[in-house]
Amino acid sequence: MRIIAGDRKGHTIFAPRGRETRPTSDRVRENVFNIVAAWVEDARVLDLYAGSGAMGLEALSRGAAAVVFVESDAEAVRAIERNLDKLRLTGGSVVRQGVSTALLQEANAGRKYDLVLVDPPYAMTDYDTLARYVPSVLADDGLLVLETDARTEPALPLAVRSSRKYGGTRVTVFAHE
């Protein structure tokens, strides 16, 4: 895997071993960032189910001000930290927690994000938690990008801005109404 664009374009990144983490393909990542390009520069980004951190790392490379990586797996957290060090990217912080706990804490703290990236293991997607907390952590003019299995049409209490399929993956972009 590699960074597609920005300051660290072309640099390779580490991914955790095994089948627990399914990194977003370069093609899908490139298309996602083409869709959300106007929201990335100087953005505060929340990367949920971060895995290798590829999505958040791409955002930092493209000029995001800060990225909070949320990941519960210890090996994945180590991979994100290695990637941040290797790429010498500043503005990244890693939270080793489950998504439900992290979202509750972010909502209670009143933190807002311009871009929320959600790429869970498809079978583990907790739509109830996303529906409950993401609207409160998403900035009024922010976007939520949710990756799902291509056969899934996710529903959240946000307006669908775009929904596209890339092979076995669907990318749905949501915003406040």
- 40-55, pLDDT tens digit by residue? 999 999 999 999 899 9
Give the pLDDT mean for 110-117: 98
Q: What are the strands, taking DSSP E only, across 4-87?
A: 44-48, 66-70
Domains parsed from the chain with CATH numbers:
26-175 (3.40.50.150)
The per-residue pLDDT of the chain, averaged, comes to 90
Show the CA angle centred on residue 138, arms to residues 55 and 13, nearest 5°.
Answer: 10
pLDDT digits (tens, 9 = 90+) for 76-105: 999 999 999 988 888 999 999 999 999 999
Higher pLDDT, 28 or 117: 117
**Which has more confidence, 9 or 155?**
155
Determine what percent of the chain is predicted with pLDDT higher than 70.
Answer: 94
Q: What is the pLDDT of residue 19?
A: 46
> What would the mean pLDDT of 3-32 be, rounded to a whole number?
72
Exposed e or buried b for every residue in 105-123, given b needs 16+ CB within 10 A?
ebbeeeebbbbbbbbbebe
Rounded distance between C-alpha atoms, residue 76 and residue 158, angstroms: 29
Least confident span in 4-18, 29-43, 104-118: 4-18
**What would the mean pLDDT of 140-147 be, rounded to a whole number?**
96
